[in-house]
Amino acid sequence: MVLEAKHISFQYGKDSRQILEDFSLRIESHERVGLAAPSGFGKTTFCKILSGYEEPDRGEILLDGRPLSSYGRYCPVQMIWQHPEQVVNPRLRMREVLKEGDGIEDRILQGLGIEEDWKNRFPAEISGGEMQRFCIARALGKRTKFLLADEISTMLDLITQSQIWSFLMEEVERREIGLLAVSHSMPLLESVCTRICDLSAGI
């Protein structure tokens, strides 16, 4: 499959700064693309547009030539956010949070190092790193075709980081999920991705 962003322009409200200007990107299923740029260059905004959280002012997002909205309720392009505590309902136990995903297999939970007793806890009772693993697992549902990882490992220590990234790389390669990894850490992108694209270069 191919995920295409064509000539995307975007700004938050009429009076604010132009964040993206005529930006295009093409990701194929077997690719792992890195997206680098300093803070404030619209990396997160671009991910939000790619996964349908924001509508671009101009341009379009196509998955195999069709708009995302034509793919039914489950969005095949899933985003993993930088701050996991914002995307988890504080009143649900982690077990319930996982259930929101599309048939998450035990293999994924094991690969991410999620322990059985974490599942019975509330989000306030686990650490940010532990919560992030749940969010990664939740995004790896059966119908996920593309994964957008927006600074997903900034709150993790180096050992956990490498554990999670090696699992993710193995998983996306095996299932042919296209990956867009966002980070301002060049060394990380260089070790994970097949190619790197600089968002700031185009502006």
Partner 1 sequence: MKRVNGRIMTVFFFALAVLFLAAVTAAGWVFSEEALVTDFSRKNLGPGLQYLFGTDWLGRDMFIRTLTGLSMSIRIGILAAGVSSVLALLLGTMAATMGKTVDAVITWVIDLVMGIPHILLLILISYALGKGLKGVVVGVALTHWTSLARVIRGEVMQLKEALYIRTARKLGVGGFEIAWKHMFPHLFPQFLVGLILTFPHAILHEASITFLGFGLSPEQPAVGIILSESMKYLAMGRWWLALFPGLFLVFTVVLFDVAGENLRRLMDPGSVHI
Q: Which SS3 state, helix, strand or coil, does residue 91 take?
A: coil
- 24 vs 74, which CB is nearer to partner 1? 74
- 96 vs 173, which CB is nearer to partner 1? 96
Question: How many Cβ atoms from other residues are within 10 Å of residue 176's Cβ?
Answer: 12
DSSP assignment of 143-199 equals T--EEEEESTTTTS-HHHHHHHHHHHHHHHHHHT-EEEEE-S-HHHHHHH-SEEEEG
Is residue 191 a contact residue for partner 1 (CB under 8 A)? no
CA dihedral 184, 186, 189, 193 (to 10 degrees): 130
One of 33, 36, 47, 78 touching partner 1 (CB under 8 A) = 78
Cα torsion 65, 143, 58, 42: sign: negative
Enter the tokens of residue 6. Answer: 């064509």
Per CB under 8 A, contacts with partner 1 among 124-143 are 138, 141, 143
Per CB under 8 A, contacts with partner 1 among 142-161 are 143
Is residue 89 a contact residue for partner 1 (CB under 8 A)? yes
How many chain residues bind partner 1 (CB under 8 A)? 23
The radius of gyration computed from the CA coordinates of the chain, to the nearest angstrom, equals 17
Per CB under 8 A, contacts with partner 1 among 93-122 are 96, 100-102
One of 5, 19, 20, 87 touching partner 1 (CB under 8 A) = 87
Q: Which SS3 state, helix, strand or coil, does residue 18 take?
A: coil
Per CB under 8 A, contacts with partner 1 among 26-55 are 51-53
Using the rule CB under 8 A, give the single segment among 25-33, 90-98, 145-153, 158-166 that binds partner 1: 90-98
> Quick check: 104 and 135 in contact, CB under 8 A?
no
Q: How far is the CB of 82 from partner 1 (least distance, A)?
A: 11
One of 92, 155, 196, 203 touching partner 1 (CB under 8 A) = 92
Helix (H) or strand (E) holding 23: strand 20-28
Query: Which stretches of the chain bind partner 1, using CB under 8 A?
Result: 51-53, 72-75, 78-79, 81, 86-89, 91-92, 96, 100-102, 138, 141, 143
